[in-house]
Amino acid sequence: KQEVTQIPAALSVPEGENLVLNCSFTDSAIYNLQWFRQDPGKGLTSLLLIQSSQREQTSGRLNASLDKSSGRSTLYIAASQPGDSATYLCAAPSGAGSYQLTFGKGTKLSVIP
């Protein structure tokens, strides 16, 4: 059974800092991994989808990496802004070839002006 862990559960940084969010998963027979953002009281928004054939995926100030051999993914946020404050969740397929996702519990990020 896939298990996804995100550490830390909460993170507070001053504005302008670069930061890394961590995600680990137990079943490395996956073909992709997704990072989502969730604002309070809202649904999830997909930020990045990394295919297993890729090592990295970039969107603006966000860069996600995937290392299947170690069961880890990271989300790098450059030059953080107060508007980046949200909960970030990673999700991996529940099994090889599965369309179901297993989610981590998220990292709540606060960027202090």
Is position 44 an interface residue for other proteins (rule: CB under 8 A)?
yes
In whole angstroms, the minimum distance from the beta carbon of 69 to other proteins comes to 21
91/111 with CB nearer other proteins: 91
Q: Which residues contact 11 (CB under 8 A, 6 or more apart)?
A: 19, 21, 107, 108, 109, 110
Size, binding site for other proteins by CB under 8 A? 21
61/105 with CB nearer other proteins: 105
18/46 with CB nearer other proteins: 46
**Length of the chain in terms of residues written:** 113
3-state secondary structure of 13: strand
1/113 with CB nearer other proteins: 1
Q: Are 18 and 106 in contact (CB under 8 A)?
A: no
**Residue 99 and residue 97: Cα distance in Å, rounded?**
7
Is position 22 an interface residue for other proteins (rule: CB under 8 A)?
no
Query: Which of 22, 28, 32, 63 is close enough to bind other proteins by CB under 8 A?
Result: 32
Q: Counting beta carbons within 10 angstroms of the beta carbon of residue 88, is it exposed (0 to 12), middle (13 to 18) or buried (19 or more)?
A: buried
Query: Which of 54, 70, 79, 105 is close enough to bind other proteins by CB under 8 A?
Result: 105
